[in-house]
Amino acid sequence: MHIINPATEEVLATVAEGDAPDIDAAVKAAREAFENGPWPRIRPHQRTEYLLKIAELVQQHAEELAHVITLDNGKPISEARNEVARAAEVFIFYAGWVTKIFGETNPSDPSLFNYTLCEPLGVCGQIIPWNGPLSMVAWKVAPALACGNTVVLKPAEQTPLPALAFGQLTLKAGLPDGVVNIVTGFGPTAGAAIARHSDVDNVAFTGSTSVGKEILHAAAGNLKHVSLELGGKSPNIIFDDANIELAVTGSATGIFRNQGQVCCAGSRIFVQQKTYDEFAERLTQAASSIRLGDPLEPRTTMGPLVSGEQYERVLGYLKVGKQEGASVRAGGERGPQSRGYFVRPTVFADVKGSMRIAREEIFGPVASLIPFQDETDAVLQANDTIYGLAAAVWTRDINRAHALARSLKAGTVWINCYGILDPISSFGGYKQSGFGRELGKHSIELYTQAKSVFIKF
């Protein structure tokens, strides 16, 4: 497979195109490592040390990894550096968990001693997207390893290089053979082979809702454990009483970071009527001040979209928005560059909840501004979506903030901020944004299963 640099459209590298037989070989290696290798059997303290070693290697190779991310994905180098730092933190976080995966002793019949063990699942299949090509590796691999599983990971066909660079670091860390297996390839071939493989115990997927549904079907064959982190159309709600300056800055980051290719992007921006015009004006200014360009240039704040396919998709939505009658306040077209998948940060005003740009995940730097009247109206409009990944509220009224945190149907709610993620806290979706929660203690639950043991005196 040719890997394209989205900033130049030039071939960056060529990687192997894995298919079902390669997945099968990887699963065999992972199975052997799980059943007969040291990984699930070593002292937990030792697994902690391995995970810490991986984190340390990621930090030591931070600059190299950040460059690989930017070359492969197109995000600004500052964002890539941040991604590397966050990925290392995820390994550090789960390194601490290894020795805290406790079982329980249970008050059963007095003639019995009953305890519950928390055991690994076995071979974990992991299919990840291109928008966070290293962070997604960390979110999937770190907790699976912490629990004593072995993994077969397939990175996205657009951005396999950060995962491959990470794989080399696991070799450097001296992980036992077969514990981490990375197979590059396309979704319908290599990815589907993981989802349907009869000797894979779990499949964790991040990507589109439509592929998530296919994976769920394929996983039914051997009843794999499934976790799905899918699309979103997250509401970002600005009340008249908000600190408007902070709301504008936060909302701009919420929709424009990573070129808007973020599952929890705040793509539907609801603004209360009195503030609407001023907010629209200020967000337009914020969008226009974004520096779109070479993502390796340190001052660049927006790079190209990841691929020609994503570029065409987003340009298609810009056309749809105009046809539907939304008004373009900023952007609305491709960037001025002669090469590369650059799209200008775009603000659509006068958007109605029924328009496609307000209903479908665009996954690009496109904000839709929608007015609302009051709290009830805001919640009704915000929840009127098939998705439920995240939501945000900007207000100075603490009662309202707490009330909305409860009434918004989303896996994460931000109050007076946007996009904060922390390995300490769960992440995942309501409704068609998927199920299963990652990060925090929730990933430990995803990658373990309980076993109840009864001993008769």
Single out the segment in contact with ligand NAI by CB under 6 A; choices: 86-94, 182-190, 296-304, 321-329.
Answer: 182-190
CB 157 within 8 A of CB 179: no
Residue 192 near ligand NAI by CB under 6 A: yes
CB of 209 to ligand NAI, least distance (A): 7
CB of 148 to ligand NAI, least distance (A): 25
Site string for ligand NAI, 2-31 (x = CB under 6 A): ------------------------------
CB 139 within 8 A of CB 83: no
Single out the segment in contact with ligand NAI by CB under 6 A; choices: 3-11, 101-109, 205-213, 243-251.
Answer: 205-213
Task: Using CB under 6 A, pick the residue from 55, 124, 215, 355 that binds ligand NAI.
Answer: 215
Task: Using CB under 6 A, pick the residue from 157, 201, 375, 438 that binds ligand NAI.
Answer: 157
End-to-end CA distance of the chain: 62
Task: Using CB under 6 A, pick the residue from 178, 187, 235, 411 that binds ligand NAI.
Answer: 187
- Active-site residues: which are they? 229, 263
In order of 232, 255, 260, 382, the CA distances from 268 in angstroms are 10, 9, 12, 8
CA distance 177 to 47: 14
Single out the segment in contact with ligand NAI by CB under 6 A; choices: 55-63, 81-89, 203-211, 331-339.
Answer: 203-211
Residues between 223 and 252 that touch ligand NAI (CB under 6 A): 229-231
Task: Using CB under 6 A, pick the residue from 131, 149, 184, 381 that binds ligand NAI.
Answer: 131
Task: Using CB under 6 A, pick the residue from 33, 54, 127, 137 that binds ligand NAI.
Answer: 127
CA distance 34 to 147: 12
Task: Using CB under 6 A, pick the residue from 54, 71, 156, 302 that binds ligand NAI.
Answer: 156
Burial class from Cβ neighbours inside 10 Å (0-12, 13-18, 19+) for residue 197 reads buried
- The conformation of residue 396, written as its DSSP 8-state character, comes to S
Contacts of 397 (CB under 8 A, 6+ apart): 239, 241
CB 58 within 8 A of CB 91: yes
In order of 27, 123, 368, 455, the CA distances from 155 in angstroms are 15, 17, 31, 44
For residue 401, the Cα-to-chain-centroid distance in whole angstroms is 26
Residues between 283 and 322 that touch ligand NAI (CB under 6 A): 313
Is the sign of the CA dihedral 364, 184, 20, 32 positive or negative?
negative
Question: What sections of 239-361 are H helices per DSSP?
Answer: 244-256, 273-288, 308-324, 356-359
CB 1 within 8 A of CB 159: no
Residue 125 near ligand NAI by CB under 6 A: no
Residue 412 near ligand NAI by CB under 6 A: no
Residue 429 near ligand NAI by CB under 6 A: no
Residues between 255 and 274 that touch ligand NAI (CB under 6 A): 263
CB of 274 to ligand NAI, least distance (A): 33
Query: Quick check: helix, strand or coil at residue 379?
Result: helix
Task: Using CB under 6 A, pick the residue from 119, 214, 240, 281 that binds ligand NAI.
Answer: 214
CB of 394 to ligand NAI, least distance (A): 24
Q: Which residues bind ligand NAI (CB under 6 A)?
A: 127-131, 154, 156-157, 186-188, 191-192, 195, 206-208, 211, 214-215, 229-231, 263, 313, 361, 363
